[in-house]
Chains A and B, each alone.
Chain A
Amino acid sequence: MASPLRSLAYLLPQLWRALKEGPHTVKYPFDPVELPAGYRGRVIIRAENCRGCSMCVRDCPAFALELEREGRDAYRLIYHPERCAYCGQCELSCNFDAISLSNEFVPGKPDRKDLGVVLVNKEG
């Protein structure tokens, strides 16, 4: 049965832990946020490695990547962050180590038009 001593035995360690750890709230975006290195954030590109093979486009489950092709060496890879599910499949599918996910958190923008990003633009 719960007695006052038993309740203290529960509560004191919790109180100690709460005092030791302090508040966990981070005043984002004014305070810096530490995300782990493996956090799946913004999609980044190493354009010199990209061959335009479109494996990433084919494997993206959210249809967030688009390849516009004009010739063998002239193509554009467009990325839509608002459709992206941040799953990392493009990074797994790329055989040339061109596309990957950084650990940068992606904030929103008021206008959808500002979100589309041209990752690779090769004129050939």
Chain B
Amino acid sequence: MSRLLTQIYLFEEIFAALQEAFPDAEFVVEDKPVDDTFLKLAPEKVRPVAELLIEKFDIYHLSTITGDDAGDGVRLLYHFWSSYGLTLDTLLPYDNLRIPTLTDLIPGAAFYEREIQEMLGVTFEGLATPGPMFLPDDWDGSFPLRRQRLQKSQ
């Protein structure tokens, strides 16, 4: 029970700091299983919020970045962990699949961003890309995790 209270208390502090730093931005908070809180925000706010989390709250552990073709765009989820989970949830429209990279703040994000770049076609501005990561060298250039491929096979 005390862990849950710590989570609520710490998250309120974080939310207050975010609202102070970005007064005009819209943040939607949702609690998700297991032990996670999702923070929906606009794509251009991801990098400043990540900077704030790292500098002010020492939340530096990025578990992974999930890319998901949600039907109305590509959804990116940045899963952070600091005694409980905190996920930044953003949606990129199909006609503008670009977002700045986090690798200068968190070098460990490189593999996750490269994977999303390869599987979903999102461009991470500022990311060094030395070639394909999981797909073979002679791949035809399509994006395996996009919806159209799933619908075609069904």
Do any CB atoms of chain A lie under 8 A from CB atoms of chain B in the complex? Answer: no
Interface, chain A (partner B; CB < 8 A): none
Interface, chain B (partner A; CB < 8 A): none
